[in-house]
């Protein structure tokens, strides 16, 4: 265990790997990032699921989907609530960037809602730039209104990291 100034750094104890086919899909985490099980199931079968483990327990996940020969998309990323804001999200984004670079795609994209302030902060800080808006995406694709930070999720903000 490596410590900094007496503080234990949890990031040193996180392992990231692909989910094995024999393991159950971490739906509770996936549903945190995307409230529609139907939407999740649409991209899951053609995606790779990665998990972050702490002491052999899955506490985080992200899902990579190849959109076209040049583009990978992070379709879903989630960290268990009690482990949020400790840098694990950033660690997963960096890992995903390395995975993507190794697959010889030229860009990694990620989408989040107009209301997702912390996510927009995190993704731009990790090297993603806003490259598009899918207008009314959440109004058109989700049956119930979704709110974050008291703002209605209406549009999907697409961000791109050039690799
Ligand atoms: N406003 C601005 N910044 C904020 C706010 C806020 N309200 N809340 C947190 N932050 C900052 C933190 O200070 C931190 O920045 P810092 O590193 O400069 O201190 C950063 O946001 C969070 O970074 P991490 O700790 O690396 O992120 P975390 O481990 O919490 O993971 C994640 C981020 C995945 C979004 C996690 O919070 C989560 O699972 N949320 C619920 C599910 C979700 O919304 N997933 C993303 C949906 S979009 C998609 O899946 C493609």
Span 13-58, pLDDT tens digits: 999 999 999 999 999 999 999 999 999 999 999 999 999 999 999 9
pTM of the shown model: 0.95
Q: How far is the CA of 121 from the centre of ligand 1 (A)?
A: 8
pLDDT at 94: 98
Q: How far is the CA of 129 from the centre of ligand 1 (A)?
A: 16
Using DSSP bridges, classify how beta strands 71-79 and 107-113 pair: parallel, antiparallel or unpaired: parallel
Q: Helix 88-102 and helix 117-125: axis angle, to 10°?
A: 50
85 ligand 1 Cβ < 6 A: yes
Q: Is the pLDDT of residue 4 over 70?
A: no
Q: What is the 3-state secondary structure (H, E, C) of 56-106?
A: CEEEEEEEEEEEECCEEEEEEEEECHHHCCCCHHHHHHHHHHHHHHHCCCC
Q: Which atom of ligand 1 is nearest to the CA of 32?
A: 42
Span 77-87, pLDDT tens digits: 999 999 999 99
């Amino acid at each position: 265990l490596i410590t900094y100034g007496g503080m234990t750094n949890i990031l040193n104890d996180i392992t990231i790997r692909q989910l094995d086919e024999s393991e159950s899909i971490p739906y509770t985490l996936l549903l945190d990032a995307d409230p529609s099980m139907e939407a999740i199931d649409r991209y899951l079968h053609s995606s790779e699921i990665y998990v972050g483990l702490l002491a052999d327990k899955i506490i985080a996940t992200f899902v990579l989907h190849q959109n076209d020969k040049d583009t990978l998309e992070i379709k879903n990323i989630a960290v268990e609530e009690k482990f949020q804001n400790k840098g694990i999200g950033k660690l997963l984004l960096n890992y995903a960037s390395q995975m993507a670079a190794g697959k010889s795609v030229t860009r990694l994209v990620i989408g989040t809602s107009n209301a997702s302030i912390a996510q927009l902060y995190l993704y731009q800080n990790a090297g993603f730039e806003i490259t598009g808006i899918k207008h009314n995406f959440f109004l058109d694709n989700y049956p119930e209104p979704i709110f974050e930070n008291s703002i209605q999720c209406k549009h999907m903000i697409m961000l791109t990291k050039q690799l």
